[in-house]
Amino acid sequence: MASAIRLSYIIATYNRLPFLKITLEKLIDELQAEEEIVIVDGDSSDGSKAYLQALFDAGKIHQFVSEPDKNQAHAWNKAMLMAKGILIKKIIDDDVFCYKAIRECKNYMLANPAVDVLISNDLGSSLHDYKNIQKLSRLPQYEKWKTGIAPSFTFGDVHMLIRRSSLAYIGLYNPAFTMMDWEYSLRISYLKANIAYYTGYNALSVAHPQTISALKNNKVVIEQSKRACIFYQYAGDRAEISLWSEIKIFLGKSLNRIKQVDKSKEEQVEDIYSIYSYYYQYLSDLNKAKNSTILRN
């Protein structure tokens, strides 16, 4: 029997309550009929658990569990397995999303059941320099892959929609990889999944000292990237890791240096509600001004 839920928004979170509140307030306000919100909390100690329980009890989120995770891939995999929707959209608690653009992607995938995964352009910014927003695209790499020039390519998962039934083919995140989205993108493309590309922007990625990216071990990332490059026949396009992963690590290191050199910088960051309001408006205005389309392989 076909699922009555068209889209599952999934969130894995741990001790990031200020960001989570902003993201969930926006998501709950934008939620449509036949959509659900699924949240996996890693047994947070900052009040997130009580906040999420209250939302669940009020019926504002639909599935919720709070328990320790082995790592972030483990948490996200639990969320994907809990999802009931035909489609799954990952929502990262400290990033920004354009729900109008997501709905365009959702409607396209519902109308085209052969599409396994849909990705889009991406935006990147640092919380400490929030008006400096970088436009990021994997379209040239997608085109090379689509025409058979490259057997695989990389893309970030912050803007990805997945058909839940396609998980039987593409699988879940590999918990052995620190850069789990990087390995996942290589696997999805190497398996020749049916990937569509939205030329608009459905997400804006935000870096700050608490992001997972800021805590990564560069030696481990390099070792894992070499292994995956061989397995997925990935020759690279600018580096052994994807362009966006490269930027995330750079931003994370930069933010850590700022924090070490001048701890008062942390106090100088403007109210994050104002910053995120700026982000949401920027993303909305950008998509309104852009004549976006969806490409298929």
pLDDT digits (tens, 9 = 90+) for 169-202: 999 999 999 889 999 999 999 999 999 999 999 9
Q: Residue 253 — very low, low, confident or very high, per pLDDT cuts 50/70/90?
A: very low
Q: Does residue 240 sit within a domain?
A: yes
Q: Does residue 121 sit within a domain?
A: yes
Token pair 């870096």: residue:
207
Q: How far is CA 172 from the centre of its chain?
A: 14
Q: Residue 2 — very low, low, confident or very high, per pLDDT cuts 50/70/90?
A: low
The amino acid at residue 252 is G
Range scoring the smallest mean pLDDT among 44-53, 108-117, 236-245, 275-284: 236-245
Torsion on CA atoms 215, 242, 197, 39, rounded to nearest 10: -20
Q: Residue 23 — very low, low, confident or very high, per pLDDT cuts 50/70/90?
A: very high
| Count of structural domains within the chain | 1
Q: Are strands 87-90 and 7-13 parallel, antiparallel or unpaired?
A: parallel
Chain-wide mean pLDDT for the chain? 88
Q: What is the extent of the structural domain holding 26? A: 7-296
pLDDT at 225: 82
Q: Does residue 222 sit within a domain?
A: yes
Q: Does residue 190 sit within a domain?
A: yes
With 0-12 / 13-18 / 19 or more C-beta atoms within 10 angstroms meaning exposed / middle / buried, residue 61 is: buried
pLDDT at 264: 42
Residue 266 sits in a domain whose CATH number is 3.90.550.10
pLDDT exceeds cutoff 80 at 75: yes
Percent of the chain past pLDDT 70, that is, above it, reads 86
